[in-house]
A = this chain, B = another copy of it.
Amino acid sequence: MQKYEAPIKDIEYLINSVFKINNYSNLDRFKKINPEITTMILEEASKFTQNVLLPLNQSGDSEGCKFEEGDVKTPDGFKEAYNTFIKGGWSSLTFDEEFGGQGLPTIIGVIVSEMIVSTNMAFGMYPGLTQGAYKAIEKIGNSEQKKLYLPKFSDGKWTGTMNLTEAHCGTDLGLIKTKAEPCPDGSYLITGSKIFISAGEHDLSENIVHLVLARLPDAPTGIKGISLFIVPKFLSNDNGELTDKNNVKCLSIENKMGIKASSTCEMKYESATGYLLGEKNKGMKAMFIMMNEARLGVGIQGLGMSEVAYQSAAEYTKDRLQGRSLNSPVNPELPADPIIVHPDVRRMLLSVKSFNESARALSIWIALNIDIAEHHPDSDTKKNASEFLALMTPIAKAFLTDTSFENVNLALQCYGGHGYIRDHGMEQFVRDTRITQLYEGTSGIQALDLVGRKLPQDMGRLLRQFFHPVDKFIKENISDKDISDIIMPLAKSFARLQQASAWVAENGMSNPNEAAGASSDYLKLFGIVTLGYMWAMMAKTSLSKLNEKDSDKQFHQDKINLSKFYMNKILPETSSLLSKITAGSKTLMSIESSNF
């Protein structure tokens, strides 16, 4: 009973009415779209994802990937679906035209990604990883590398991976042992083992291009001695024609909780030929290009999973007849009412729905800033957008995935015992979503990034990229009686966020454990307020639309109602979070490690 319809109307509302993307036509990429073209793309994406990917989601989960003598077979139908995917041009939406891409704005990419995740998260891993590899080579590759690899990524014939983790170190990349020895011809011989490599081996593409972190012989110890290498599965000539198999092996694939149709590989490099990407010993910087891209992608995965789980639960609660409304029967002629009449069932559904719609707004806001940061003519505007992204990346990654996991569980809960049965497909959502809190840096790592790197940077300068627009919005609207019941709670929780920020900055300065101890609660507080701001923007938009002649009044009234639900039932969590933060870290540190 996995059910999905792409939320096209909601997307159009966000891009046209809330974020008014026609204001951005000064950017080249936005000249290529208008509301009609966008709608056409959305409708095609919706057809592809609903008709091709969704039917493979449950079968992909039960079959999983199969490993045999170094090869990985994806589940039945995946190869055909991937071919349809690349034929439809879905692999190259946002890639540069110079390299065979379509040069569309990032918002289009983000929206289509959400649909792919909703209908088949495991499938989406293969092109998702390629995206990160594309960005890294685009930004730091030399012109030959760009010319060779990027068109292959665009047409989807080659896919990419990120090879960071080794068995003894995940987060702490300074400990990695994989070695790179220089050859006389300028290439390198890469030797070492990597684990948890998504899409490290599979049967969808002709070639797989691994970006591998390794250490040069003369490299400094720790993270300052790491370089990034391109290590293809098959070597090729300059025209991209495959020549020899490289010394790259997939040793095994992991048996995981979920995303079983996505191969998670243990990779072995034995004097494999590699090419330096970017500068020597600057691998961490290169890695962060991929990583930031990937982190935002994982945040979108949270949203996509929460959306499909919500839709599947909403459908069920409208169909399932059991019990009676507590006031008066809704279906007096039938033996029972649908369970959606119950306030507690609605509480669960609305918690998820109010997250989805505001998280989608946030993802579009972030996507807009990606294009501004990369393509805006004004350098200050560019810089501001980059800072906004740096601030929002850990929040989007951790808050969207942590809340998504709660949400898919609420959606499962709406099914009662039936949610626990595999056929119904709800428990797959829970298993699949669980990885998003772990990979590309756990939620705890994101929280540390927020309080340890982003918050202190330039004396809190990054914070202003969020605080200023919110502050301005509140000041402009606080005396508007029509939305005071929305702006007042936002203002209150925004004040809590400011207070928490000051507390973390002040106490973290003298004792880093204070910032770290508060970090997860602080990130959550930040996330809740961010979505609160999204809801206030939507409420304001819809309120003005209510007065327009031909507007869909019910649609806009529901947005306002849902905004009020968020203020009433979600925003209050900020008060507890502030208390927990300001309680400090003393009780976290008072028990000896050995007494745990």
Contacts and interface: CB of A to CB of B under 8 A. Distances in A.
Nearest to A348: B444
A577 B570 CA distance: 10
B591 A344 contact: no
Contact of A512 (B326, B443, B579): B326
Contacts of A419: 438
Contacts of A442: 413, 416
B196 A417 contact: yes
A444 B346 CA distance: 11
Given A338-B593, A587-B568, A416 B434 contact: no
Interface string A379-409: 0000000000000000000000000010001
Nearest to A254: B421
Contacts of A512: 326-327
A150 interface: no
Given A421-B254, A576-B572, A596 B434 contact: no
This chain's copy number in the assembly: 2
A283 B596 CA distance: 47
B427 A558 contact: no
A485 to B, nearest CB: 10
B572 A580 contact: yes
A520 B595 CA distance: 34
Interface in A563-590: 564-565, 568-569, 572-577, 579-580, 583-590
A521 to B, nearest CB: 8
A318 B593 contact: yes
A343 B171 contact: no
Contacts of A593: 318, 338, 340-341
A313 B335 CA distance: 48
Contact of A420 (B168, B412, B413, B438): B438
Interface residues of A, number: 97
B572 A322 contact: no
B327 A513 contact: yes
A10 interface: no
Nearest to A451: B344
A595 B565 contact: no
Given A175-B335, A322-B170, A343-B516, A255 B314 contact: no
Interface string A321-361: 11100110000000110101111111111100100000000
Interface in A247-298: 254-258
A437 interface: yes
Contacts of A435: 417, 420
A445 B169 CA distance: 44
Interface in A407-447: 409, 412-413, 416-423, 427, 430-431, 434-435, 437-439, 442-444, 447
B416 A558 contact: no
A359 to B, nearest CB: 17
Interface string A108-140: 000000000000000000000000000000000
A427 B422 contact: no
A562 interface: yes
A460 B50 CA distance: 52
A343 B589 contact: yes
A595 B558 contact: yes
A434 B420 contact: yes
A338 B596 CA distance: 13
A36 B248 CA distance: 62
A448 B136 CA distance: 53
Contacts of A554: 595
Give 4 nearest A-B pairs by CB, closest first: A343-B517, A572-B579, A257-B427, A326-B512
Given A171-B323, A350-B591, A420-B438, 18 more contacts: A169-B336, A196-B417, A254-B420, A254-B422, A256-B422, A342-B516, A343-B513, A344-B444, A347-B520, A413-B442, A420-B434, A420-B439, A427-B431, A430-B434, A554-B595, A572-B576, A574-B576, A575-B579
13 contacts: A170-B416, A257-B430, A342-B444, A343-B513, A343-B588, A349-B596, A417-B438, A561-B590, A564-B587, A565-B587, A568-B584, A572-B580, A576-B576
